[in-house]
Amino acid sequence: MVDGDIVMHSMQRTEILDRLTESDPARLEDLFHRADEVRRQHVGDAVHLRGLIELSNHCRRRCIYCGLRAGNATVARYRMTADEVLGCATAAESQGYGTVVLQAGEDPDLDEVWVGDLVRLIKYRTPMAVTLSLGERRLEELAHWREAGADRYLLRFETSNPRLFRSIHPPLAGQPHSRIAILRILRDLGYEVGSGVMIGIPGQSWDDLADDLELMRTLDLDMIGVGPYIPHPETPMGRHPRRWRLPADRQVPADEPMTLKTIALARLLCPRANIPSTTALATLNPANGRERGLQCGANVIMPNVTPLGYRKAYEIYPNKACIADSAQACNHCVLWRIAAIGRQVGRGRGDSPNRQGRDCSVSPTQNGILL
């Protein structure tokens, strides 16, 4: 639909803000419908599945919103062995998934060589794409993993408001690059680059969320993950939300309609990105949150393939959807939900159409990133 093209490329800030604050049911339906149409035109009806492996819950950061933060003594810490990760990757392949996502807390003991060897092994033994989501890592590590064969990297910028970001994600000494700078470096390294934000985190204003969406467009993201903020009782923000929360008329709510509006706008602004319908959305609405996300612009689902024994300990927020479901049960549930809304499961790796065609053939040492 030509109309969709005009909307996404020229959408002005005032329009983004109007849509974010929209509450009229008919106009919301119109927004969701347009996002669904743009999704269909640019990335098609296939829903790509990514097997999520939560390989370590150790973390050196003290993000005030996340249950894995260092200092939360109530978490039983674990780090999977390479064999365990490979077993999960093989299971993901046999479920028919085209990608595995290796996600963890920011765990320095997942070192450069160990992760590089693991990526190489997965790429050698399976045809799957490998996505990493291991936090803010040194440039040498990111370059090494790319050369080992990693295809994609996920690092949410969480909020584009620098003051809010610093207050929820205290900086670590010796880390010279901001998340946004790292996203640009990942792109130069040739990764498919994914980022995103939490919706409704205390302190996030409507203007902040509009800025977030504009930044997604400026960064030309290949993948965009957005999900509602869910309070964790063992975190400073979960215990004392009033310290950060804005007056009611300025604070973005952390609810399902807000998440669907943000997914829809992300689709209109970044039509060729891969956009997951997230677990956090399914946690708010277990009955049909996944489907609603897919019907408002999303085209990816990330079923969990982490061994059941570790699931509970990867508690970034409480009551996570699917926490007690085996990899096989998650697979069945997801397939059923996709079929129920008349969509098909994607075949192959499901690379981002946005990344295709970008010239990323220059090696990291050639282009000066590591000099």
Query: Residue holding tokens 């997914």?
Result: 263
66 contributes a contact to ligand SAH by CB under 6 A: yes
Smallest separation (angstroms) from ligand SAH to the CB of 365: 26
Closer residue to ligand SAH, CB minimum distance, 93 or 212: 212
Q: What are phi and psi of 36, to 5 degrees?
A: -65, -40
Q: Using CB under 6 A, which of 56, 126, 131, 133 touches ligand SAH?
A: 133
CB of 66 to ligand SAH, least distance (A): 4
Contact yes or no for 56/100 (Cβ under 8 A): no
Q: How far apart are CA 171 and CA 7, in angstroms?
A: 38
195-227 CB burial, b ≥16 within 10 A, e <16: bbbbbbbbbbbbebbbbbbbbbbebebbbbbbb
Q: Is 289 in the site for ligand SAH (CB under 6 A)?
A: no
Q: Pick the closer one to ligand SAH by CB: 103 or 295.
A: 103
State which of residues 32, 65, 145, 153 lies at the interface with ligand SAH (CB under 6 A): 65
39 φ/ψ sector (left φ>0, alpha ψ -120 to 50, else beta): alpha
Q: From the list 105, 190, 203, 293, which residue makes contact with ligand SAH (rule: CB under 6 A)?
A: 105
Contact mark string toward ligand SAH, 20..59, x via CB under 6 A: ----------------------------------------
Secondary structure class of 59 (helix, strand, coil): coil
Query: E strands within 214-341?
Result: 223-228, 300-301
Interacting residues of 171 by C-beta distance below 8 A, sequence separation 6+: none
Q: Identify which of residues 238 and 271 has a Cβ nearer to ligand SAH in the complex.
A: 238
Q: Does 317 engage in binding with ligand SAH (CB under 6 A)?
A: yes
Minimum distance, C-beta of residue 302 to ligand SAH, in the bound complex (Å): 11
Identify the residue among 302, 316, 322, 330 touching ligand SAH (CB under 6 A).
316
Q: Does 244 bind ligand SAH (CB under 6 A)?
A: no
311 binds ligand SAH (CB under 6 A): no
Q: Which residues pair with 227 in a beta bridge?
A: 198
Tell me how many degrees the CA angle 188-276-133 measures, rounded to the nearest 5: 45
Which has the closest alpha carbon to 294: 326, 228, 338, 324?
Answer: 338
Q: Which helix (H) or strand (E) holds 102?
A: strand 99-104
Q: Binding ligand SAH by CB under 6 A: which of 189, 198, 302, 305?
A: 198
Select the span of 38-46, 101-109, 140-148, 353-361 touching ligand SAH (CB under 6 A). Answer: 101-109
Of 227 and 271, CB closest to ligand SAH: 227
Residue type for position 40 = R
Using the contact rule CB under 6 A, the part of the chain among 203-211, 226-234, 245-253, 337-345 near ligand SAH is 226-234
Residue closer to ligand SAH (CB basis): 230 or 334: 230
How far, in Å, CA of 134 to CA of 181, rounded?
16
Is 141 near ligand SAH (CB under 6 A)? no
Q: How many residues bind ligand SAH (CB under 6 A)?
A: 18
Q: Which of 38, 260, 280, 284 binds ligand SAH (CB under 6 A)?
A: 280
CB of 367 to ligand SAH, least distance (A): 24
CB of 31 or CB of 230, closer to ligand SAH: 230
- What span, in angstroms and rounded, lies between the C-alpha atoms of 301 and 276? 5
Interior/surface letters 233-262, b for 16+ CB within 10 angstroms, e for the rest: ebbbbbeeeeebbeeeeebbebebebbbbb
CB-wise, 40 or 60, nearer to ligand SAH?
60
Beta carbons within 8 Å of 31's beta carbon, 6+ residues apart: 19, 22, 261, 264, 265
Structural tokens at position 182: 């790292």
Closer CB to ligand SAH, 40 or 58, in the complex: 58
- Only one of the segments 109-117, 210-218, 227-235, 239-247 lies at the binding site for ligand SAH (rule: CB under 6 A); that segment is 227-235
Contacts with ligand SAH, residue ranges (CB under 6 A): 65-66, 103, 105-106, 133, 135, 155-156, 158, 198, 227, 229-230, 232, 280, 316-317
